[in-house]
Amino acid sequence: MDTGHRRADEQGFGERIAAAGVKEPVKTYLLRCAEFHSSPAPGLLIGAFMVDYALDLLHATPDEKLFAVCETPKCLPDAPQVIAHITTGNGRLKVLPIGRFAVTVNRVSENPTAEAVRVYVDLEKIKNFPVIDKWFSNSPEFHKHTMGVALQEAIFKAGRGFLSYERVRVPVKIKEAWKPVTCPTCGETVPDYMVVDGKCGACGSMKYYEKI
Amino acid sequence: MDTGHRRADEQGFGERIAAAGVKEPVKTYLLRCAEFHSSPAPGLLIGAFMVDYALDLLHATPDEKLFAVCETPKCLPDAPQVIAHITTGNGRLKVLPIGRFAVTVNRVSENPTAEAVRVYVDLEKIKNFPVIDKWFSNSPEFHKHTMGVALQEAIFKAGRGFLSYERVRVPVKIKEAWKPVTCPTCGETVPDYMVVDGKCGACGSMKYYEKI
């Protein structure tokens, strides 16, 4: 946690999950997600319900080898990471900066494509949950400091109530073979397929730091 | 885990950490990282030592609000996620597909830039650790199935022995204000700043699935 005081939506977080009657395994998912993320962000909590829904639709368990695409970088990607070992570092999670609140999950496949399930926030259904709708649409009527707790309670009570899904087909990622190449500018080695214009990305368009 | 049998480098993993004399907190970091990642991948284990080193250099604790840039998507990004709540979903982790094995960590800052520490695998120092060097350089002399255990032991014993660091300055990310925009093609809403050519990315260049 980054501050000494706790945010209003963190106080009584566990109690609210229980009071809303959230069942296992989602109850545990929510607690683990919030701990990992370092706050119980609304998008993350919705993400936990979404991933649980996707697993059910695939008849999959969190210990299987699964892959996911998140259509937003905001909060959602931490749910598949915490719940189902679909992580940034193990290459099973892809995040696309599309901006839709949706996650697509599939099993490992030997084929060039895999059947997947895409779970998304349904813009029609969400109208039945006014507080969630206001938060989701970034409405000026939503006030984070006074409505955070109500939003959290609404999310716990709604569960899958404003989610929908569709069956889709996704391409399967192929692991690339590589050889190390020494960047002529910085002298460090990078995989050959990551070289851009004869040098490593950090010495080109991906430069992100200055030495001090 | 994705298969019924355990890989050779997973059997006795905890015992090897102890036998190599790895101290806390890294011992616990290694176990937690492997569980999250769903395997004790060598790059992940090195990443745990790197993040621990970066925290020491910053005199920071894992519970502070920290940010990181990983210069490779492979394995490494899971270490800051597990160890220091620097996650893909909370926006504190950035992964650049540069291909260098390096991580840059900084504290939260009110300024446009922040002082950071960049920890990297040192190509000179790694020569003192032949098994690690062979694996790192993707040498045909490295055989995953027969040398996996030796590699793991070498990583535990080496610790920070083949790492170096430099002090750097990085730009601080600004949170973007946004309004929802309805994509004319799919009818879903996305933040205005993510619209590309009048539609959402999923209806354009970021299309990644077909309905079935």
Contact criterion met (CB < 8 Å) for A89 and B79: yes
Tokens of B55: 């925290």
What percent of chain A stands above pLDDT 90?
91
Contact criterion met (CB < 8 Å) for A208 and B170: yes
pLDDT digits (tens, 9 = 90+) for A116-132: 999 999 999 999 999 99
- Asked if residue A99 lies in contact with residue B191, where contact means CB atoms within 8 angstroms, the answer is yes
Does residue A4 surpass a pLDDT of 50? no
- Asked if residue A161 lies in contact with residue A129, where contact means CB atoms within 8 angstroms, the answer is yes
Cα–Cα dist A36/B83, whole Å: 9
pLDDT digits (tens, 9 = 90+) for B146-196: 999 999 999 999 999 999 999 999 999 888 899 999 999 999 999 999 999
- Asked if residue A16 lies in contact with residue A42, where contact means CB atoms within 8 angstroms, the answer is no
Amino acid A129: pLDDT: 98
Tokens of A104: 């697509």
Does residue B133 surpass a pLDDT of 60? yes
Amino acid A6: pLDDT: 63
Does residue A171 surpass a pLDDT of 90? yes
Does residue A5 surpass a pLDDT of 80? no
pLDDT band with cut points at 50, 70 and 90 for residue B2:
very low
Does residue B4 surpass a pLDDT of 70? no
Does residue B206 surpass a pLDDT of 60? yes
Does residue B8 surpass a pLDDT of 80? no
User: Considering only CB atoms, which chain B residues are within 8 Å of A99?
Assistant: 189-191, 194-195, 200-201
State the DSSP code for A194: G
Shortest Cα distance, chain B CAs vs residue A72, angstroms = 9
Of the candidates A129, A31, A116, A37, the one whose C-alpha atom is nearest the C-alpha of residue A71 is: A116
Average predicted confidence (pLDDT) for chain B = 94
Tokens of A25: 């395994």
Q: What is the mean pLDDT of residues A65-82?
A: 98
pLDDT digits (tens, 9 = 90+) for A55-70: 999 999 999 999 999 9
pLDDT band with cut points at 50, 70 and 90 for residue B5:
low
Cβ-Cβ contacts under 8 Å between A and B: the total is: 203
User: Considering only CB atoms, which chain A residues are within 8 Å of B44?
Assistant: 89
Query: Is the Cα dihedral B15, B17, B20, B21 positive or negative?
Result: negative
Contact criterion met (CB < 8 Å) for B96 and A206: yes
Contact criterion met (CB < 8 Å) for A170 and B89: no
Amino acid B6: pLDDT: 63
Amino acid A159: pLDDT: 98
Outline where chain A has alpha helix (H).
13-19, 26-37, 42-58, 78-84, 130-136, 144-158
Decide the pairing of beta strands B93-95 and B66-70.
parallel
Q: DSSP letter string over B22-73?
A: PPTTHHHHHHHHHHHHTS--HHHHHHHHHHHHHHHHHT--TTS-EEEEES-S
Nearest to B200 among A47, A99, A189 (CB): A99
pLDDT digits (tens, 9 = 90+) for A130-157: 999 999 999 999 998 999 999 999 999 9
